[in-house]
Amino acid sequence: MIRIGLLGYSGRMGQAIAADIAKRTNCQLTAGLVRDAKLMRTTETLLLSTNVDDVIKASDVVIDFTLASATPDFVSRATALGKAYVAGTTGMDEKAVAVLKDAACKIPVLYAPNTSLSLAAMKQITALTAKLLRHFDYDVTIHDEHHRHKKEAPSGTAQALGEAVLRGNNGAKIPTYTAIRAGEIVGNHDVVFAGNGEIIRLHHSVTDRAIFARGAVDAALWMHGKKVGFYGMDDVLGL
């Protein structure tokens, strides 16, 4: 039985991940990080604590859905305790991602600002399309739509799709970005290749936040027992 620790237990994604774990028979939520001391409790099977070290110690693999400002410290603590780490936190800058990569020299670290398994496939299709069109005159635009509470724009997912474009075309065409923040949109992303008289539009849509939870747990299970290194959802799918 794989023991999973959840940083960000109190949030919407944390609750969705906890619900997904509860449906599985090959893993168990053993600890969760909570913000409010009033939520702290200890049972035979679950520790809810405001102490991040206690949560990490009780886990085989840690899933982090907290804040970009907190993740660098949390992964450093996981490194000191030798625990595998799945970071699903969005909005991290290059400096924060560099901390994850440094940690990956000592522990297995998986970084995925979007844990949808189908999004990993979308990135592969995007990179292939960019490669096939790299010598032709196509403009590339990436459009993302999210709920009104999401702060960063473009989203981490949109930037990941942009990286897929650059990977495919070797930097021949730099994509532009547009974004909408409205209502309770879970997540829509389009990659548009616009040429003279024709358009290719690649679309990915998520209608249920549970998709991200399922992908995060799948990633955590895949990470158990992995060698030291820096991974992504592509690796989970064997791409």
Give CA separation, 194 vs 15, 38, 94, 135, 139, in Å: 40, 54, 29, 14, 5
Would you say residue 9 has pLDDT above 90? yes
| Active-site option among 57, 150, 224, 226 | 150
State the pLDDT at residue 38.
76
Over range 167-171, report the average pLDDT.
95
CA atoms within 13 A on the CB side of 194: 10
Tens digit of each residue's pLDDT (9 = 90 or more) over 147-161: 998 888 999 899 999
DSSP letters spanning 73-125: HHHHHHHHHT-EEEE---S--HHHHHHHHHHTTTSEEEE-S---HHHHHHHHH
What pLDDT shows up at residue 36? Answer: 83
203 is catalytic: no
What mean pLDDT is reported for the chain? Answer: 95
Query: Nearest CA to 64 among 40, 25, 36, 91?
Result: 91
Q: What percent of the chain is modeled with pLDDT above 70?
A: 100
The residue that leads in pLDDT, 130 or 45, is 130
Tell me what percent of the residues of the chain surpass a pLDDT of 90. 87
Which entry of 83, 123, 143, 146 is annotated as an active-site residue? 146
Task: Tell me the pLDDT tens digit for each residue of 73-121.
Answer: 999 999 999 999 999 998 888 999 999 999 999 999 999 988 999 999 9
Q: What is the mean pLDDT of residues 220-224?
A: 97
Bridge partners, 71 (sequence order)? none
Name the pLDDT band for 45 (thresholds 50, 70, 90): confident
pLDDT at 42 over 90: no
Give the DSSP H/E element, type plus range, for residue 231.
strand 229-231
- Note the pLDDT of residue 39: 77
Active-site residue flag, 135:
no
Asked if 200 and 78 count as a contact pair (C-beta separation under 8 A), the reply is: no
Measured between alpha carbons, how far is 112 from 134 in angstroms, rounded to an integer? 27
114-143 pLDDT, tens digit per residue, is 899 999 999 999 999 999 999 999 999 999
pLDDT in tens, 23-35: 999 999 999 999 8
pLDDT confidence of residue 216: 97
